[in-house]
Amino acid sequence: MYRNSGGKPGVVLAAAAVAQFVFALDMSVVNVALPAIRTALGFTPLDLSWVVHVYALAFGGFLLLGGRACDLYGRRRMFVLGLTVFGLCSLAGGLAQTPWHLVAARAGQGLGAAVAAPAALAMLTTTFAEGPRRVRALGVWSAVNAAGGALGVLAGGLLTEYAGWRWVMLINLPIVAVALALVPAGVPAGGSPARRERLDAPGAALATGGVGLLVLGVVRTDTLGWNSRTTWATLGAAAVLLTAFVVVESRATTPLLRLGLLRSRWVGGANVLVFLAAAGQFTAFYFVSLYMQQVLGMGAAATGIAFLPFSLGLVAGTIVATRLTASRTPRVSLVPGALLAAGGLAWFALISPDGSFLTDVLGPSLVTSLGAGLVLAPVAAAATTGVAPSEAGMASGLMNSSRQLGGSIGLAILATTAAHHTGMATDPAALNAGYALGLALAAAVFVLAAVVAIAVLPRRRAATRSPQSTATAGNQLEGTPS
């Protein structure tokens, strides 16, 4: 059982949303600044990719551990700790003088985010009861998350061009300060278990190593390729560790990830959807950004501004989804949302080397982002349906891991496919053909997400439980909602 102390739900929501905004912002704000970072710090072309990869490696590798730590040591405590580490490492990155300084700072950012992100989501799911209140709270959280990712491209372009690349790191500091200032204003100090359980050390080591190697193997395909022995050795080692993790967790008395959680059609199905939606969304950001810069010849700042309609569409989609699912099953938003996003990406696949922002980007951006927004809010609610408060961090870490892995793996596979189609050609027409193929494949990924939503998620809405009454449900999660 959990001890609960009073808190202010509005403050909890604000703190979680602000934190999620800065994590989403940080994942995209650095990308536009990479050329400036390379020139300023003297990165080699091969080493420069680690500015992005090491963040993904640390973030993805430690999410399950960070989520479970929230359950065992207190959500507010881990939220503050993770944010503090993230903020300090952002400062260190902004002051970096050598390549290894920045790479180390990015690794620390990923570690801090891996602790604070699942804590933020767990705070929401244990503060707001299942049903309309939780759906609305997760709608706000999802909208802010979407806005952070999209606005990161805008901020990266503007900051790099007018303030200098260091500000893509330093911009995090005031946002982190706001999130930390909200904690004493109303985030409850409770949330630690009355009976202390031990952290599953073998499971933590296997999960962190396995997921970390999986992310490492996938993200390095941009330089090593999929045919590299190093790539397959890394992925093979990841498979061995993750298989061992499943075996250990099936026997552990206090597992890092209770495998029975995945038998819930809500939790299991939603995590598959998160994986697929992240793969499609990350790919869309990547190829559209390259299309605008490499084919249309737009600068960094102009590219960032061009993503504003995408940001607005994502926010609008989450607002609509919140209203649709407040009293109905998440399927009512997930299925049409995934199909709408697929339609928008299929439209994007018609891009032309002689196109323009108005004819080739604006319309598809609005359709794709609206569809993606319709998916984001209800999938977060579905992934935490029926989860006991004592496992809220576990479920949150799992969902964040699915999103991170989906984005990394999906982008690596589709980017490699597009690059293979383009070959050695660098003219706009060849690049355009590769980007169009990648966007078409991303559309297919969202179609698959719609199929999963139809086939896996229950047709009936789960019975509403308060955070307290859900405490008895942790060992009773089954495929059909009660």
Report the pLDDT averaged over residues 460-464.
Answer: 55
DSSP helix/strand/coil, 131:
coil
pLDDT tens-digit readout, 142-185? 888 877 877 887 888 788 888 889 999 999 999 999 999 999 98
- For the cut 50, the answer to whether the pLDDT of residue 420 exceeds it is yes
What tokens were used for 305?
A: 């501004």
Identity of residue 466: S
- For the cut 60, the answer to whether the pLDDT of residue 257 exceeds it is yes
As a whole-number percent, the residues of the chain with pLDDT over 90 amount to 41
Report the pLDDT averaged over residues 278-299.
Answer: 87
Q: Which of 65-79, 187-201, 288-302, 430-444 has the lowest mean pLDDT?
A: 187-201
- For the cut 50, the answer to whether the pLDDT of residue 467 exceeds it is no
- pLDDT value at residue 201: 86
Q: What is the Cα–Cα distance from 78 to 91, expressed in whole angstroms?
A: 20
pLDDT tens-digit readout, 321-337? 888 887 788 888 999 99
Query: Do residues 471 and 283 make contact, with C-beta atoms less than 8 angstroms apart?
Result: no
- For the cut 50, the answer to whether the pLDDT of residue 14 exceeds it is yes
Q: What is the Cα–Cα distance from 422 to 400, expressed in whole angstroms?
A: 32
Q: For residue 297, how many other CB atoms are within 10 A of its CB?
A: 9
DSSP helix/strand/coil, 434:
helix
The mean of the pLDDT values for the chain is 86
Identity of residue 392: A
For 62-130, list the strands marked E by DSSP.
none
- How much is the pTM? 0.83
- For the cut 80, the answer to whether the pLDDT of residue 477 exceeds it is no
Higher per-residue confidence, 49 vs 186? 186
- For the cut 80, the answer to whether the pLDDT of residue 32 exceeds it is no
Higher per-residue confidence, 468 vs 270? 270
DSSP helix/strand/coil, 193:
strand
- pLDDT value at residue 183: 94
- pLDDT value at residue 338: 95
pLDDT tens-digit readout, 229-242? 999 999 999 999 99
Q: What is the Cα–Cα distance from 476 to 482, expressed in whole angstroms?
A: 10
